[in-house]
Amino acid sequence: MNDPVLPGATLGILGSGQLGRMLAQSARRMGYRVHTFSPTADSPTGQIADRETVAAYEDLDAIERFARDVDAVTFEFENISSAAANAAARHGPVRPRGEVLHLCQNRWREKHALTAAGLPTAPYAAVESLEALLAAIARLGTPCILKTAGFGYDGKGQARINTADDAVAAWASIGGGPAILEGVVDFAAELSVVAARGATGERVDFGVIENRHVDHILDVSIADAPLDEAQTTRAREIAATVMEAFDVVGVLCVELFVDRRGELLVNELAPRPHNSGHLTIEACASSQFDQQLRAVCGLPLGDTTRRQPTAMANLLGDLWADGEPDWTAALADPAVNLHLYGKAEPRAGRKMGHLTASAASRDEAVRRVRTARAALVRASNP
């Protein structure tokens, strides 16, 4: 199927969180109709979409009905089963291919595919039992990190192992399932490259983004990481290699570490728009969500040039601990933009929205976005 899916057609989004919401915003701006498949009603994507099917991802009949009703399917939720992706593919194009999703869902498959593509990662070992874990710790050394092979996000399903004595507790804490053990990278910085590949193989990327995490959750992202030219080129080449090796049509994000020697290592992949790419909505003429839409629909890709230094700060549910954040105070700086995802319940650690700021320099953008976020917390009354 190489005919483009043109404006006026219906885009189907499997999943219904903030990534789908921002994709739906791009799609509606370009005149598409949007139908989201969501396990819950009034979801972040459903609030923007023309239609919201509420059903479980395991309900393959519902998936087929949904796919029949739309002109192209993409996903924003990574843990869609292969069976669901295949059911959708019986009725029209699914992009990226279900196989890409299947690969990235599981840290074993993903790491092996990266290694097979000749790409550098932290040292790792697949472990299926406590005995295998102990052997892997002996081989990789400490410190290391144990991660569940599937269903991890925002540092969930991970346990750090500082000495071999931590092994039993770590194995129990991740539920003792199939897992991967990784050597801890003493990184100088965390980076990401958000890239897009069109149906005809055309490729673009948004350069290298610097990411700062707090408690394993992304906190701040800044466009144009301060790397030397060779490192920047290398990071973008790594993303290109992944896109080609996996034959991705759509957006994919490569998370990277740069270690103390300046070497780049791949941490993990996300076969979809990524939290670190949210700043492209304001920073670039055509955002990561615009690229996703264009790639999925078989249209030419857009301009990813960064217009101004831009930084993004996540808004987690913790900011609601003492009541509604002070939106007026954050928006007092006209350089600041607010994005809220329409989630009713502000739980701790839950991504509720983000702020961006553009300014004359990177440092200035970071300072302004952080200041705006700090202003959200009301001074408690004496």
User: Which chain residues interact with Mg ion by CB under 5 A?
Assistant: 255
Q: Of ligand ADP, Mg ion, none, which one sits near residue 155, judging by CB under 5 to 8 A according to partner kind? A: ligand ADP
Structure tokens at 225: 């990481």
Distance from C-alpha of 297 to C-alpha of 108, rounded to nearest angstrom = 31
Helix (H) or strand (E) holding 127: strand 124-127
Helix (H, G, I), strand (E, B) or coil at 226: coil
Q: Of ligand ADP, Mg ion, none, which one sits near residue 78, judging by CB under 5 to 8 A according to partner kind? A: none
Q: Of ligand ADP, Mg ion, none, which one sits near residue 185, judging by CB under 5 to 8 A according to partner kind? A: ligand ADP
Minimum CB separation from Mg ion for residue 152, in Å? 8
- What is the residue type of 136? A
Minimum CB separation from ligand ADP for residue 268, in Å? 5
Minimum CB separation from ligand ADP for residue 182, in Å? 4
Q: Which is nearer to ligand ADP, 185 or 204 (CB)?
A: 185
Residue-level length of the chain: 382
Minimum CB separation from Mg ion for residue 87, in Å? 28
Q: Of Mg ion, ligand ADP, none, which one sits near residue 39, judging by CB under 5 to 8 A according to partner kind? A: none
Minimum CB separation from ligand ADP for residue 115, in Å? 15
Distance from C-alpha of 130 to C-alpha of 322, rounded to nearest angstrom = 43
Q: Which is nearer to ligand ADP, 8 or 175 (CB)?
A: 175
Q: Of ligand ADP, Mg ion, none, which one sits near residue 151, judging by CB under 5 to 8 A according to partner kind? A: none
Q: Of Mg ion, ligand ADP, none, which one sits near residue 153, judging by CB under 5 to 8 A according to partner kind? A: ligand ADP
Q: Which is nearer to ligand ADP, 161 or 352 (CB)?
A: 161
Q: Count the Cβ atoms, other than its own, within 10 Å of residue 170.
A: 23
Burial 253-280 (b: 16+ CB within 10 A, else e): bbbbbbeeeeebbbbbbbbbbbbbbbbb
CA-based nearest residue to 26, from 239, 278, 203, 249: 278
Q: Which is nearer to ligand ADP, 220 or 336 (CB)?
A: 220
Q: Which is nearer to ligand ADP, 52 or 255 (CB)?
A: 255
- What is the residue type of 55? A
Minimum CB separation from Mg ion for residue 244, in Å? 22
Minimum CB separation from ligand ADP for residue 116, in Å? 19
Minimum CB separation from ligand ADP for residue 288, in Å? 17
Task: Count how many Cα atoms sit within 13 Å of the Cα of residue 21 in the half-sphere of its side chain.
Answer: 17
Q: Which is nearer to ligand ADP, 34 or 191 (CB)?
A: 191
Q: Of ligand ADP, Mg ion, none, which one sits near residue 195, judging by CB under 5 to 8 A according to partner kind? A: none
Q: Of Mg ion, ligand ADP, none, which one sits near residue 72, judging by CB under 5 to 8 A according to partner kind? A: none
H-state helical runs in 16-150 = 18-29, 60-69, 82-89, 98-104, 107-116, 130-140
Structure tokens at 189: 């910085």
Q: Which is nearer to ligand ADP, 57 or 124 (CB)?
A: 124
Q: Of Mg ion, ligand ADP, none, which one sits near residue 154, judging by CB under 5 to 8 A according to partner kind? A: ligand ADP
Minimum CB separation from ligand ADP for residue 70, in Å? 28
Q: Which residues bind ligand ADP (CB under 6 A)?
A: 122, 145, 152-155, 182, 184-185, 190, 213, 216, 255, 267-268
Q: Which is nearer to Mg ion, 52 or 255 (CB)?
A: 255
Strand partners, 377: none
Residue 185 backbone phi and psi in degrees, to 5: -90, 125
CA-based nearest residue to 58, from 36, 82, 34: 82
At a CB cut-off of 8 Å and minimum separation 6, what does 89 contact? Answer: 67, 73, 98
The structure tokens 């194009």 sit at: 93
Structure tokens at 215: 């408690």
Structure tokens at 114: 């990266």
Q: Which is nearer to ligand ADP, 71 or 210 (CB)?
A: 210
Structure tokens at 281: 């909505």
